Amino acid sequence: MESEEAAAAAAQAEEDLLRDFERILHDDPLIDEVGFLHPTQFHSLLVDSTNKSTSQYFWCVDHKLAISSSILPDLYRAARRAHSNATLNPSSSPSASDAALIMTHSKALLILCPDLLTAWNSRKMVLSTNYNLSHLKDELRLCALILSYSPKNESTWSHRRWVIKNLAQHLQDMPELIDKESLLVKDMAEKSKMNYRAWRHRCWLIPYMKTKQVLDELNKSKKWAELHVADNCCFHYRRSLLFALLDGAANREDSLICQSEAYLMWKEELRWNETLIRRYQGRESLWNHRRFLSQWWVQHLLSCEETSPSNESLAELFLSQEIHLLSDCLSAPSDEFGEMCVQAELAALYILWISKQDAAVKGKVEEILQSTGSLKEVLARACPEKSRLWTHLLH
């Protein structure tokens, strides 16, 4: 009997915690940061605080919410139980009172554990019953709140895309929304390095962009890439933007002019990439980006030669420039950190990669390399420890 009373008292205490938590979330819908603090840290926060609205386990000031980690298990159990009870009715169109309970309990539950797809799906069910712009914007705020402390959470990014897709069906002013999303991804990328989920979300937004916005994104991401040359995610984003420019140019009435401008941008990207390669030695992400740019550019030059033959081969001229870059990397003096050795290895493997793209290109590379030595000799000099790899590829 006593055990039953103790269990009932514990359950009541958990429900009281959940009620306080949900009241705070309701009273301040603009909360943009959540922190889970150790009890000692939380106690010092309460001591320093002059705000009378704080409680024993929750602190909310200036839209910043702190929760004592000591109550997280109890709070989670209460939120999970409340959400489960609210979704007992499998109806696809819940009543207004049931829908409000689902949204309230699922919000509390997802802040505590954002990986619960069941909770996200229950919110989709409620939001799908009828379109409400205000509710969908609230949903974007909830996603941003969760991403502020869990920037790589795939479930949250996926739900955010679902919301944007629904907004796109009714919203006319998409450029403003896209700008805000781009800024959000930038902030998330600053908080967590190599956040490919955030950058993939940014790539997903590209089809919603107009040509001017794609150009703006290229300009804005350029500065970020220069400050984060080891992060391949941003360079992948730039590649997606460049392809979007080409596709957009091909579908416009003045396609020839637009394609010409896109080709100039591609050429500028190659020049900018070489500048970064020479400035930051041994960064594999820069060489990976150059592989992508060179592969498309060489094929473009070869197709131009087929349609309008000339005495001077543009493809050979470009490959000569790449061999010159290789020579500079091979002849650079070694440094105490070994970055130039890595740079020479990446340059040699890059030339090997180019030669494997096309039989005609391989012949041109070998011909241009005669003054420097055969490709095999270059590889043996730059990366002898990987001889088993490149020997197999050469044959």
Q: Is 17 a member of any domain? A: yes
Summarised one tens digit per residue, pLDDT across range 312-342 is 678 888 999 999 999 899 888 877 777 889 9
For residues 151 and 192, is the Cβ–Cβ distance under 8 A? yes
Q: Which has more pLDDT, 84 or 250?
A: 84
Q: Is 321 a member of any domain? A: yes
> What radius of gyration, in Å, describes the C-alpha atoms of the chain?
28
What are the residues facing 290 on neighbouring strands?
none
Q: Is 342 a member of any domain? A: yes
Type of residue at 72: L
Summarised one tens digit per residue, pLDDT across range 72-122 is 999 999 999 999 999 887 666 778 888 999 999 999 999 999 999 999 999
Distance, in Å, from the CA atom of 140 to the CA atom of 182, rounded to the nearest integer, reads 13
Distance, in Å, from the CA atom of 269 to the CA atom of 92, rounded to the nearest integer, reads 51
Is 60 strand, coil or helix?
strand
Question: Dihedral of CA 353/356/360/362: which sign?
Answer: positive
The domain tally of the chain equals: 2
Per-residue tokens: 11: 């359950």
Nearest to 329 by CA among 288, 293, 279: 279
255, pLDDT greater than 60: no
Which phi-psi region, left, alpha or beta, contains residue 141 (left: φ > 0; alpha: ψ -120 to 50)?
alpha
Boundary of a domain, candidates 101, 127, 153: 127
Q: Is 268 a member of any domain? A: no
Residue 52 pLDDT class (50, 70, 90 cuts): very low
Q: Is 65 a member of any domain? A: yes
Q: What is the mean pLDDT of the chain?
A: 87
What are the residues facing 317 on neighbouring strands?
none
Give the residue ranges of DSSP H helices in the chain.
Answer: 2-27, 39-48, 72-86, 96-112, 117-129, 133-149, 154-168, 174-191, 196-204, 211-227, 232-250, 255-279, 284-307, 314-331, 339-355, 359-368, 375-382, 387-394
Report the pLDDT value the prediction gives residue 85, as an integer from 0 to 100: 93
Residue 191 pLDDT class (50, 70, 90 cuts): confident
Q: Is 223 a member of any domain? A: no
Report the pLDDT value the prediction gives residue 331, as an integer from 0 to 100: 86
- Range(s) of the domain holding residue 342: 314-395
Nearest to 20 by CA among 59, 52, 63: 59
Q: Is 202 a member of any domain? A: no
Summarised one tens digit per residue, pLDDT across range 208-248 is 998 889 999 999 999 999 999 999 999 999 999 999 988 87
For residues 319 and 365, is the Cβ–Cβ distance under 8 A? yes
Boundary of a domain, candidates 100, 127, 154: 127
Summarised one tens digit per residue, pLDDT across range 371-394 is 667 888 888 888 888 888 788 777
- Angle at Cα 88 formed by Cα 58 and Cα 114, nearest 5°? 40
For 41-50, 281-290, 318-327, which range has the lowest pLDDT when averaged over its residues? 41-50
Which phi-psi region, left, alpha or beta, contains residue 195 (left: φ > 0; alpha: ψ -120 to 50)?
beta
Distance, in Å, from the CA atom of 141 to the CA atom of 71, rounded to the nearest integer, reads 25
For 77-81, 126-130, 364-368, which range has the lowest pLDDT when averaged over its residues? 364-368
Report the pLDDT value the prediction gives residue 95, as an integer from 0 to 100: 83
Boundary of a domain, candidates 127, 144, 167: 127
Q: Is 115 a member of any domain? A: yes
What is the share, in percent, of the chain residues with pLDDT greater than 70?
92
Report the pLDDT value the prediction gives residue 94, as an integer from 0 to 100: 78
Nearest to 351 by CA among 368, 339, 333: 368
Residues for the chain: how many in total? Answer: 395
